[in-house]
Amino acid sequence: MSLDLAITGLGLVTPLGVGREAVFEGLREPDAATQEAFRGPSSVLEAYDRAHVAEVWGWDPREHLGARGHRSLDRMTQFMIAAARQTLGDAGLARDGALTVYDGDRVGLCTATAYGSLDAISELSRVAELEDPRYINPTRFPNTVANAAAGYVAIWEGLRGPNTTMIDGHCGALDCVLNAATHLRLGRADALLVGGAEVLSEPLYVALAKLGLLRDAHEPERGLCLGEGACYLAVERADAAAARGARVLGKLSGYGSAFEPPARESRLVEASPDAVSRAVRDALDEAGLAPRDVDAVASSHADLPALDDAELAGLRDVFGDDVRVAAPKQVFGETFGAAGALGLAAGLAWLAGCPVAPLVGGGRDVAGERPPRVVVATTVGFYGNASAVALTAA
């Protein structure tokens, strides 16, 4: 049985732009968009001249959150509040900062992040280590827990429904789709903001650079491009969305997730093609779709061969060579917890007529071909975890 959830709104804070229209506009010209996203040098990582990252350029919280009250909010929390506010507005669920359709008790959120509190932990830890634990800033302390950011969104936007934070590496935002589907099906909420967020930070950059995974400004052809951003989808049961006459951007129809551990006991990091193919098949089964129905895949291809090769092998196992595989991370950068949500956002752009791009392998979308009706978003993790969501046209 299909999940049958309507996506009625979309909000984004990305290196490509802020808001659905700006981001969709950018996606029409993916080559220019990639240049825009990676225009550097980074202000967050200004001490690292080799950093080649996709930053939310020129972020000014006052533009999106108003003049006051955001000083104790960290960067990721600011992104999330801005994205949530846009999403509620885009869905017609709020106007002028007030919810208009559903009671705040009946609207919640489900947010993924992988390393969202790392920056706050690092900041306080530095003070504790180099100065004294007694000097850590108590107003920053709540930011060290991963769910605080979503708690702030609840406060700022008046959302008092179920509020879950999920962590599953690269796969968390797609996993949020199932969590939200469960709550909506059981009547625990009328609308949920579903998505994820991640932020550029010095500790994350240093760790990934130390592991040799990152793209280098002096050698920008290979390696992972770190990105940042936040993305929420407003999700309602399809019948409820129809009953209120909501505009529907697309439907979440199926979900799958799988874990396949490395065969060798001593291995820890190893992406799994079998996990990818099983997650995709389960998502299609739930959506009542066959592989041939799928027009495009919003993959998690990120110029990291260890993960990309496993994902492409898993996709080939399901689709053969008959599907367009695109790489939204070429435009958004690697955003871990947010990645699945940005993949779904790219899918919504394609359903709305943007060219499916950038394609893995550099091919171009065939001009004049009908817009896709079915997109599968996939995410593959470092450790053998993978998730997939089937997205269909309204």
Partner 1 sequence: MQRVYVTGLGVISSIGIGRRAYWEALLAGRSGASEVESFDTAGMGRSIACEVKGFDERDFLTAAEQQRMARCSQLAVASTRMAVEDAGLEPAALAGPRTSVVLGTTMGEAHLLEEQQQRWFLGGTDAIEANLLPRYGTTLLPIHVARALGARGLVQAIPTACAAGNYAIAYAADLIRAGRADVVVTGAAELLERLQFAGFVRIGAMSPDRSRPFDADRKGLLLGEGAATLVLESARHAEARGAAPLAEVGGCGLACDGFHITRPDADGRRIADSMREAIATSGLRPGDVDHVNAHGTATAANDVIESRAINDVFGAHRPAVTSIKSMLGHSMGAAAALEAVACVLSLDDGVIPPTIHLDHQDPECDIDVVANAPREVPLEVVLNNAIAFGGQECAVIFAKPGRLPESADPPGVARASREAAR
Determine the interface stretch with partner 1 among 176-184, 302-310, 349-357, 360-368 (rule: CB under 8 A): 176-184
The answer to whether residue 69 forms part of the interface with partner 1 (CB under 8 A) is no
User: Which listed residue (65, 206, 217, 352) binds partner 1 by CB under 8 A?
Assistant: 206
Residues 150-169 binding partner 1 (CB under 8 A) are 150-152, 154-155, 157-169
Q: Does 260 bind partner 1 (CB under 8 A)?
A: yes
Instruction: Give residue 56's region: left, alpha or beta (phi > 0; psi -120 to 50).
Output: beta
* The one among 62, 68, 134, 218 contacting partner 1 by CB under 8 A: 134
Least distance from C-beta 163 to partner 1, angstroms? 4
338 in Cβ contact with 200 (< 8 Å): no
Stretch that binds partner 1, among 17-25, 288-296, 361-369, 375-383 (CB under 8 A): 375-383
With contacts defined by CB under 8 A, how many residues of the chain interact with partner 1? 80
CB of 214 to partner 1, least distance (A): 12
* Segment contacting partner 1 by CB under 8 A, of 35-43, 50-58, 145-153, 227-235: 145-153
Mark 184-203 with x for binding to partner 1 (rule: CB under 8 A) and - for no binding: -xxxx--------------x
- Name 16's Cβ contacts closer than 8 Å, sequence gap at least 6: 22, 23, 26, 27, 33, 36, 37, 331, 332
CA atoms within 13 A on the CB side of 378: 38
Contact between 85 and partner 1 by CB under 8 A: the answer reads no
3-state secondary structure 247-297: CCCEEEEEEEEEECCCCCCCCCCCCCHHHHHHHHHHHHHHHCCCHHHCCEE
Residues 24 and 231: their CA atoms lie apart, in Å, by 13
**Across-strand partners of 6?**
236, 251
Interaction of residue 384 with partner 1, rule CB under 8 A: yes
136 binds partner 1 (CB under 8 A): yes
The residue from 58, 62, 138, 245 that contacts partner 1 (CB under 8 A) is 138
Ranges within 33-62 binding partner 1 (CB under 8 A): none
Cα-based distances in Å from 296 to 11, 21, 122, 324, 357: 22, 21, 39, 5, 10
